[in-house]
Amino acid sequence: MKKTVSVFGSTGSVGRSTVALLTHHKERYKVEILTANQNVDLLAAHSIALKAKYAVIADETKLDSLRDALSGHETEAMAGRQALLDMASHSVDWVMMAIVGLAGLEPLFQAIPNGNVVAIANKEPLVSAGALLMSRAQRYGTTILPVDSEHNAIFQVFEKENKNAIEKIILTASGGPFRTWSAEQIACATPKQAVAHPNWSMGAKISVDSASMMNKGLEVIEAHHLFGMSADQIDVIIHPQSIIHSMVQYCDGSVLAQMGAPDMSTPIANALGYPDRLETCGQKLDIQTLSNLSFERPDFEKFPALRLSYDALRAQGNAPVILNAANEVAVESFLMSQIPFPAMMECVEEALSKNYTHCTSTLEDIVDLDQSVRTDTEVFIQKISSHFKKAG
């Protein structure tokens, strides 16, 4: 019997690796739903190749082109945010959440009650609404599988039954493209330089987050929710080769690490096959070619995103929502060359310094706060970007 699967964000970097695995293991899986935001051509190509039942494009204006691209094939075309949310409630055995940003929160929220397996790559919803999502998963008996390579690594070596013996989890970070740059060089970094990650091939947003180290900051908060560890029990270490994907340290002195090539196919295959092991169609690690695995402490001065993220996690309440929302807006503005690289963290600091009184107990509260922070951050960016234009 084939497992039924859906992929939300199938045209992105994680989505494409997931589609490649599903294609490689066609005999095991029946694809129900594939989704994208605007990329009609790739969504249609994937849907035809995998004989998906439904293809959903979030941008409503693209419905006709999606219908045209799928004409003569068995996939039904759908469009719009509501269609995306309706399809997220569709019950399948396994669903991959690989939309980027908080846009993935509501689809993820809808997907959880199906009581099956939800593989999560999309970290921003876990950062902003981790407590809500994890308690929802528990209530509906849904298995959450982490796909982010660090969290998938921890998942593989985290002995749940020995949780009390775990001293800490150690998230590895490549350090990104600016690890060896001076603060002065970083101040002049361009979007093109920021998205050129030395080890991983990823979407633009996460690539910029990796360059600023905000990605690692978001991952610290993500790890807190996924594994129930406090900020003091989560360490970050720079490991430029990206071979060890993370570690768990036990009270008996053992440190268990998961290793692999820097290729998302491995954590995705782990989540897709779970609890079995599935053959990857991606890169495999050739341990004999490794001559050097090095580690260094992260620089919290040069990369303030890490400090801001730990502070937000310790503050709890609405701070992680504010951090994430301001960062998303700031990254978009940096990618459009409206603000320089260091101004992204100025936006986050400014947002965190504001007195937002919103609570975050429901989905609506979180979406509402997220929206307010976005609006305020856009205003702040307008203010500072006119200053940069004048200075330029």
> What does the binding site for ligand NDP look like in residue numbers (CB under 6 A)?
9-15, 36-39, 58, 98-100, 103, 121-124, 148, 200, 202-203, 205-206, 264
Give the nearer residue to ligand NDP in terms of CB position, either 39 or 385.
39
DSSP designation for 239: -
Give the nearer residue to ligand NDP in terms of CB position, either 142 or 174.
174
Closest approach, Cβ 275 to ligand NDP, in A, equals 21
Closest approach, Cβ 339 to ligand NDP, in A, equals 20
- Asked if residues 321 and 128 have their Cβ atoms less than 8 Å apart, the reply is yes
67: which 2 tokens?
């219908």
Give the nearer residue to ligand NDP in terms of CB position, either 60 or 296.
60
- Asked if residues 340 and 187 have their Cβ atoms less than 8 Å apart, the reply is yes
Closest approach, Cβ 153 to ligand NDP, in A, equals 12
Give the nearer residue to ligand NDP in terms of CB position, either 53 or 245.
245
Closest approach, Cβ 37 to ligand NDP, in A, equals 3
**262 phi-psi bin (left φ>0, alpha ψ -120 to 50, beta other):** beta
Give the nearer residue to ligand NDP in terms of CB position, either 205 or 225.
205
Closest approach, Cβ 163 to ligand NDP, in A, equals 24
Closest approach, Cβ 123 to ligand NDP, in A, equals 5
How many CB atoms are located within 10 Å of the residue 68 CB? 11
Beta-bridge partners for 36: 57
Nearest residue to ligand NDP on Cβ basis: 12
Residue 385, judged by CB atoms within 10 A of its CB (0-12, 13-18, 19+), counts as: middle
Give the nearer residue to ligand NDP in terms of CB position, either 203 or 260.
203
How many CB atoms are located within 10 Å of the residue 190 CB? 12
At 119, is the secondary structure helix, strand, or coil? strand
Answer whether the bond into residue 177 is a cis peptide, omega within 30°.
no
Report CA Rg, the chain: 21
